[in-house]
Amino acid sequence: MAPHSFEQSSSSVGVGPSSSATPGRSGYTTVQVFSDKVQVAEDQSYLLSKFTYENALVETTAEGKYKVKPVKEDYEFKLDLKVPKVGVMLVGWGGNNGSTLTATTIANRNGISFHTKKGKVEPNYYGSVTQASTLKLGINAQGEDIYCPFNEIVPMLHPNDFVIGGWDISSVNLADAMARSEVLDYDLQRQVAKHMSGLKPLPSVYYPDFIAANQEARADNVIPGSDKWAHVEQLRKDIREFKANNDLDRVIVCWTANTERYAEIIPGVNDTADNLLKAIRESHSEVAPSTIFAVACILEGIPFINGSPQNTFVPGCIELAERHKSLIGGDDFKSGQTKLKSVLAQFLVDAGIRPVSVASYNHLGNNDGYNLSAPQQFRSKEISKASVIDDIIKSNQILYNEKKGDKVDHCIVIKYMKAVGDDKIAMDEYHSELMMGGHNTISIHNVCEDSLLASPLIIDLVVVAEFCSRITYRKVGEEEFKPFHSVLSFLSYWLKAPLTRPGVEPVNGLNKQRAAVENLIRALVGLSPQSELKLEERCW
């Protein structure tokens, strides 16, 4: 092993000093950590770190008292330092998010600037945590906080190196899809169109019962027939060919297509892995297109991320992923209104203020809004949005007595209004109870460009999923290194309704989700979890 320090500057094809490793490419790092907890292999192929995980085991007595026992366990993490060549396959490639992401990566990769009525705009990845945020490393000699770009601590994939492809029920090429979406400024569209006109989505899976009837006019690019197992096999073939044709090391698939209705959970159909596979072979009507994609990815051993709110991961699908140790993540991109809700609700409850009602209204005019105008598809979105404050409420038994059935009245309304296009207008009202019968109402009016918030989330989900796929761990004393559990809950920061392994409660608080990802990165390079005690300035 190399000396107990970590220093990386690598391209996507290797590890170690490389003149080709520059900002904007995969594997670029700027951090050197000196710690006896971390070692780099002599051939710089992997990083080995030691980490003591500390927590507290709590027992609640019948008298309402707490018995707390600090516990700790020693782990070893192993990080593969070689960033692979990755293909990103999008389901719904020709939609707003898919076409916007494709145009954005082309503009950034080629340094294409453009003009709006406010002046010149340089290409960027604003809105992406991995590309446009920082992470606190520690303090300098003067006690000042020092921050580093999020993606420069350990080697990570960069979106400039994405090889993008995918499927869509619409046959429109990506340049025309971009124009149809009406998201990006014309001057940018004009310049990137020549790079996109030759890109055409593969035929996708289309079961009319699962999306709104108003989408039928778009469906001119579908895999023929009604044999659902044949559809799984076709998708697997598509993935293998995409990987081979582009000389890829790995493929990650993300669903950014229309919201589906919820699939009914039926014993004997989708409740176990074997039953689900049998149901697909029998082309059962209650197997959704998104589940077909998920199963195809699981069988191919590649990560699948669900960016829409439907219950793609029925119990049988989760069990199948566990069986194959294939990574899955979901559900529903957390971009604007819901992300704010997870922060504001946490702030109120942590401040000892008791929210009693949350009313959320939004309207938008893009195709997502058009699809959500159908009742069953809206219901999927409503369920996803409503769950975001559940664990926050459960965290405070002073404000909310579970035995008395205390809860927050939570109302969600979504309306389609074509005129506003991709500009989603959101209005929220938080009505809370204060001391001695007082009340406080917070009203928020938020206008956001929906796809320009959602598209960076795809970048982060792909980058973090790929990063986590290179991490293995073992508890001290164990022989084998193991991958993370199939349900990759580290992706929760970017998702409205975080998928968790069976029997585990989800974490919705945004700060907790972010802290989990940050502290994982810190652990890998021999740093302790982030501390804000700042005893340097609080003690004599």
- Both structure tokens of 142: 């003067």
- Both structure tokens of 49: 């770190």
**Residue 357: what are its φ and ψ, rounded to 5°?**
-150, 145
Q: Is there a contact between 432 and 406 (Cβ–Cβ < 8 Å)? A: no
The pTM of the full predicted model, rounded to 2 decimals, is 0.90
In the block, which residue shows the tokens 């021999």?
A: 526
Neighbours of 511 (CB within 10 A): 13
pLDDT for 364: 77
Give the integer Cα–Cα distance in Å for 361 and 274.
Answer: 41
Q: Which CATH architecture has domain 337-449?
A: 2-Layer Sandwich (3.30)
In the block, which residue shows the tokens 């809206």?
A: 378
Long-range Cβ contact pairs of 345-350 (< 8 A, separation 24 or more)? 345/388, 345/389, 345/392, 345/393, 345/430, 346/392, 346/509, 346/510, 346/511, 348/430, 348/432, 349/392, 349/393, 349/395, 349/396, 349/399
In the block, which residue shows the tokens 């590309």?
A: 131
| Segments in 355-477 forming alpha helices (H) | 367-372, 375-386, 390-394, 450-469
Give the integer Cα–Cα distance in Å for 376 and 403.
Answer: 32
H or E element that contains 427? strand 423-433
- DSSP for 468-498 reads HHTEEEEETT-SS-EEPPSB-GGGGGGBSS-
Give the integer Cα–Cα distance in Å for 388 and 410.
Answer: 11
Q: Exposed (0-12), middle (13-18) or buried (19+): which is 361, by Cβ within 10 Å?
A: middle
Q: Is there a contact between 54 and 130 (Cβ–Cβ < 8 Å)? A: no
Hey, what amino acid is at 262? Y
Bridging pattern class, strands 145-149 and 66-80: unpaired
Give the integer Cα–Cα distance in Å for 116 and 478.
Answer: 58
Length of the chain: 540
Reduced to 3 states, what is the DSSP secondary structure of residue 28? coil
Reduced to 3 states, what is the DSSP secondary structure of residue 457? helix
Task: Render each residue's pLDDT in the chain as its tens digit; 540 residues.
Answer: 333 444 433 322 222 223 334 677 888 999 988 999 999 999 999 999 999 999 999 999 988 899 999 999 999 999 999 999 999 999 999 999 999 999 999 999 999 999 999 999 999 999 999 999 999 999 998 889 999 999 999 999 999 999 999 999 999 999 999 999 999 999 999 999 999 999 999 999 999 999 878 888 889 999 999 999 999 999 999 999 999 999 999 999 999 998 899 999 999 999 999 999 999 999 999 999 999 999 999 999 999 999 999 999 999 999 999 999 999 998 889 887 788 888 888 899 999 999 999 988 888 777 666 666 666 665 655 665 667 788 788 888 889 988 788 888 888 888 888 887 778 888 889 999 999 899 999 999 888 888 899 999 999 999 999 999 999 999 999 999 999 999 999 999 999 889 998 889 888 888 899 999 999 999 999 999 998 888 888 888
Give the integer Cα–Cα distance in Å for 227 and 284.
Answer: 9
The radius of gyration computed from the CA coordinates of the chain, to the nearest angstrom, equals: 24
Give the integer Cα–Cα distance in Å for 89 and 86.
Answer: 10
* DSSP class of 222: B
- Both structure tokens of 371: 């699809």
Hey, what amino acid is at 10? S
Question: What strand order describes the sheet that includes 328-329?
Answer: 202-203, 163-168, 86-91, 250-255, 304-306, 328-329
pLDDT for 383: 65
Per domain, the residue ranges of the chain are: 337-449
* DSSP class of 204: B
Bridging pattern class, strands 46-60 and 66-80: antiparallel
Catalytically annotated residues: 332, 381, 424, 496
Output the CA–CA distances (angstroms, integers) from residue 141 to 138, 147, 529, in the order listed. 10, 14, 20
pLDDT for 474: 97
Give the integer Cα–Cα distance in Å for 427 and 446.
Answer: 6
Q: Which residues contact 185 (CB under 8 A, 6 or more apart)?
A: 114, 115, 116, 121
Reduced to 3 states, what is the DSSP secondary structure of residue 5? strand
